[in-house]
Amino acid sequence: MAAPSVVVEPAGRVCWDEPVRIAVHGLAPEQPVALRASLRDEKGALFRAHARYRADARGQLDLQRAPALGGSFAGLEPMGLVWALQPDRPFWRLLKRDVQTPLLLELEVLDGREPAGPGEPEGGRVLARAVHERHFMAAGVRRVPVREGRVRATLFLPPGHGPFPGIIDIFGLGGGLLEYRASLLAGHGFATLAVAFSNFEDLPKDFHCLSVDYFEEALCYMLQHPQVKGPGIGLLGISLGADICLLMASFLKNISATVSINGSGFSGNRTIQYKQTRIPPLGFDLRRSKVAFSGILDIVDIRNDLVGGYKNPSMIPIEKAQGPILFIVGQDDHNWRSELYAQTASDRLQAHGKEKPQIISYPGTGHYIEPPYFPMCPASLHVLLNKAVMWGGEMRAHSKAQIDAWEQIISFFRKHLGTQKRTSRL
């Protein structure tokens, strides 16, 4: 009998947001095994997941057909060994800084007929190993650093001649320049500009007043780029980045579609300024934070109440937006009450005679809704508080939400910006 082997399909270049088929060949009939997955991020932090399985009567194991019998997850979860990865370091979030290199996922098959070694949760001796590369740039995607006026960004262009529908992608409070979502979107046919607004190169580490002018420069860059198809641009943001996108949609022209992932629609704790318009901060009170049973801080209620509802003076005037808005909401978001904020935004739009916006709410889903298969981050250090705070979410539900939300976002932009659908490889 041939030695056991791990097979990952497709065998070629696979992007992080694509599923793969993991199988083990050459096992004994109905042999119990444990599968273990591990990867190290760019800072050396180790992420691990494991699950128990049983081979079929022919000694084959296909994770698309065989349910996990326990471990980091249970049930039929073909990609569970990826989305269930958890860090050895406490309060650590998986991020990808350099999208030009892949993350390496090591897969090991352990003999379940033997006892686990010291300190190991599952299995005995290693029967087979494989390394699977998960990339962040599809073949042919081009990465273009942008230093245009004040704008600090990176543009990702899809394969081909273009022009392509354009999207501006903005992350949240931590600042820096995160490119992985933009690079993945380029693989789906969108020219995507990942924009930094703080804590990067010569940009300020923090800011007391949020100026829309800076983001207007980024919009102008995209509208004038020969590889970007007009007349309008899409906006995608999460958390504070989502609120920045709502601001841009409200004050700037040529915005065709906006996606807010767990945004609030309010000015938060900073004054917002655009030309002669100033929006006062809603503000917060840390005395309303709670310490959870785990000892982690829960800040979901620290923001000041929405006095006046959609008429609150701290709310972004989203009724001025020209294009449609899609709200992606985690019902278990513990950063703030995203579901309430999305409903308040809907009330405001309808009160001003606009159509009811699309709101997609996901139960059991926390704050950091990432592209598919990113491990859920239940808690991490808050950059302002310098304390560990919870973000919410239940691992399985959150993972399912990320897959669906990604499909919904791409479909929304295709509808309102227009692009060819990429053929699935599986």
Known catalytic residue at 188: no
Contacts of 402 (CB under 8 A, 6+ apart): 83, 369, 370, 371, 372, 373, 374
Rg (CA), the chain: 23
With beta carbons less than 8 A apart as the criterion, state whether 373 and 132 touch. Answer: no
Give, for 341, the enclosing helix (H) or strand (E). helix 338-351
Known catalytic residue at 367: yes
**Which residue is listed with tokens 């760019």?**
42
With beta carbons less than 8 A apart as the criterion, state whether 331 and 391 touch. Answer: no
- Render the burial of 22-56: b for 16+ CB within 10 Å, e for the rest: bbbbbbeeebbbbbbbbbebeeeeebbbbbbbebe
Known catalytic residue at 260: no
Catalytic position from the list 239, 264, 314, 338: 239
Continuous H helices in 263-308: none
Catalytic position from the list 243, 333, 334, 398: 333
Asked whether the bond before 371 is cis by omega within 30 degrees of 0, the reply is: no
What separation in angstroms does the CA of 87 have from each of 37, 40, 145, 161?
12, 9, 31, 41
What separation in angstroms does the CA of 335 have from each of 83, 279, 342, 388, 397?
21, 21, 14, 12, 18
Coil, strand or helix: which one is 252? coil
The torsion region of residue 112 among left (phi > 0), alpha (psi -120 to 50) and beta comes to alpha
| Active-site residue list | 239, 333, 367
